[in-house]
């Protein structure tokens, strides 16, 4: 029996493994399983079935609040955020500094631009201190600059962090992990808004939507070219009597507001289901 050179054997296996992997992932596009079902964008054009309430142009976030109001957070720092009701009436509209924390607590009070605005009408407001620990530590690091060896500088920053956190009953992150406490902090303690995380936005008054139900398996319909080929799937959903399809990244969701059901996605906006 003739021996197969090791190099040839390895090359053969290198071709075989991708084929086995691809076969297991079933990477070959298929036809639309439900050609009779309309696309979501087309279904939403029917004014007898759906009514658009809010679009998503220039928005980074559309948040549904526990009192059935809606928070519109812009995608540009020159634009104001808004709180509206379902009729579209603007209940609050203010510009805010994106470099400062923006927080809505469990009672609906708003904190931004170093002020607190009291729920429900936000007319009463006044100064409110916010501490962003990362900013303080970064500024301290800039002051120290390159005057010290890295090991010395890191030790000085660690000591500074301990002193910075101590008045608020917090400890440096490595100790919190040992104590199984949270490293990320975005909360009010001692009448101060404390933030120790990268994200400067948090909403504890949010009402979460649920994803619409699928009535069939997603189908791979094509591969999209780019730096790496990426799969494009069709997803099939049903909301009440209405069936529709859309790409699997649209992620349509349902939300109950004032006793009525709404359909929402960032690709389409918010629609009342009639």
Any domain includes 28: no
- 192, 137: one domain: yes
The answer to whether 211 and 9 are in contact (CB under 8 A) is: no
Residues of the chain above pLDDT 70, percent? 87
* One domain for residues 230 and 177: no
Looking at the domain assignment, is residue 27 inside a domain?
A: no
**66 domain residue, yes or no:** yes
Full DSSP string of 61-113: EEEEBTTS-EEEEESSTTSPEEEE-TT--EEEEE---TTS-EEE-TT--EEET
- Please tell me the predicted confidence (pLDDT) of residue 226: 66
Last residue of a domain, one of 152, 171, 196: 196
pLDDT at 158: 87
Asked whether residue 166 is assigned to any structural domain, the reply reads yes
Residue ranges of alpha helices (H) inside 145-206 are: 150-165, 173-178
Is there a single domain that holds both residue 160 and residue 117?
no
Q: What is the mean pLDDT of the chain?
A: 87
Q: Is residue 11 part of a domain?
A: no
Residues 244 and 264 in one domain: yes
The pTM score is 0.80
> Containing domain of residue 180, as a range?
131-196
Report if residue 265 sits inside a domain.
Answer: yes
> Are 177 and 213 in a shared domain?
no
Say if residue 111 is in the same domain as residue 148. no
Banded model confidence at residue 26, pLDDT cuts 50, 70, 90: low
Q: How far is CA 22 from CA 15, 33, 244, in A?
A: 11, 21, 29
Is residue 270 scored above 80 in pLDDT?
yes
Q: Are 221 and 30 in contact (CB under 8 A)?
A: yes
How many domains in the chain? 3
Whether 19 is in a domain gets the answer no
Q: Backbone dihedral region of 251: left (phi > 0), alpha (psi from -120 to 50 degrees) or beta?
A: left
**Domain final residue pick, 128, 150, 178:** 128
Based on the domain organization, do 153 and 95 belong to the same domain? no
Give backbone dihedrals phi and psi of 133, rounded to 5 degrees, phi first.
-60, -35
pLDDT tens-place string over residues 28-51: 889 999 999 999 999 999 999 999
Quote the tokens at residue 163: 């002193």
Domain identity same for 112 and 73: yes
Tell me, yes or no, whether 6 lies in a domain: no
Task: Give the side-chain half-sphere CA count within 13 A for 161.
Answer: 19
Q: Which helix (H) or strand (E) holds 110?
A: strand 110-112
Residues 65, 123 within the same domain: yes
Among 151, 171, 196, the domain-final residue is 196
């Amino acid at each position: 029996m003739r021996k197969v050179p090791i190099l040839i054997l390895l090359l053969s296996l290198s071709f075989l493994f991708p084929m086995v992997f691809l076969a297991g992932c079933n990477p070959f596009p298929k036809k639309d399983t439900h050609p009779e079902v309309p696309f979501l964008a087309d279904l939403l054009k029917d004014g007898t079935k759906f009514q658009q309430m809010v679009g998503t142009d220039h928005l980074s976030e559309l948040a549904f609040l526990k009192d059935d109001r809606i928070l519109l957070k812009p995608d540009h720092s020159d634009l104001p955020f808004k709180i509206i009701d379902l009729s579209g009436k603007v209940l609050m509209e203010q510009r805010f500094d994106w470099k400062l924390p923006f927080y809505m607590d469990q009672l609906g009070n708003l904190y931004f631009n170093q002020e607190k605005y009291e729920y429900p009408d936000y007319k009463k407001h006044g100064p409110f201190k916010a501490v962003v620990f990362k900013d303080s530590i970064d500024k301290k690091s800039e002051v120290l600059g390159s005057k010290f060896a890295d090991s010395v500088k890191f030790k000085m920053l660690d000591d500074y962090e301990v002193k910075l956190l101590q008045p608020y009953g917090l400890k440096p992150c490595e100790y919190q992990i040992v104590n199984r406490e949270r490293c990320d902090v975005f909360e009010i303690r001692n009448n101060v808004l404390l933030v120790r995380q990268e994200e400067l936005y948090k909403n504890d008054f949010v009402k979460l939507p649920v994803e619409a139900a699928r009535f069939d398996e997603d189908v791979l319909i094509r591969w999209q070219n780019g730096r790496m080929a990426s799969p494009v799937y069709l997803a099939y959903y049903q909301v009440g009597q209405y069936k529709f399809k859309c790409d699997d990244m649209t992620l349509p969701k349902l939300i109950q507001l004032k006793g009525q059901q709404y359909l929402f996605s960032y690709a389409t906006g918010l629609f009342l289901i009639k």
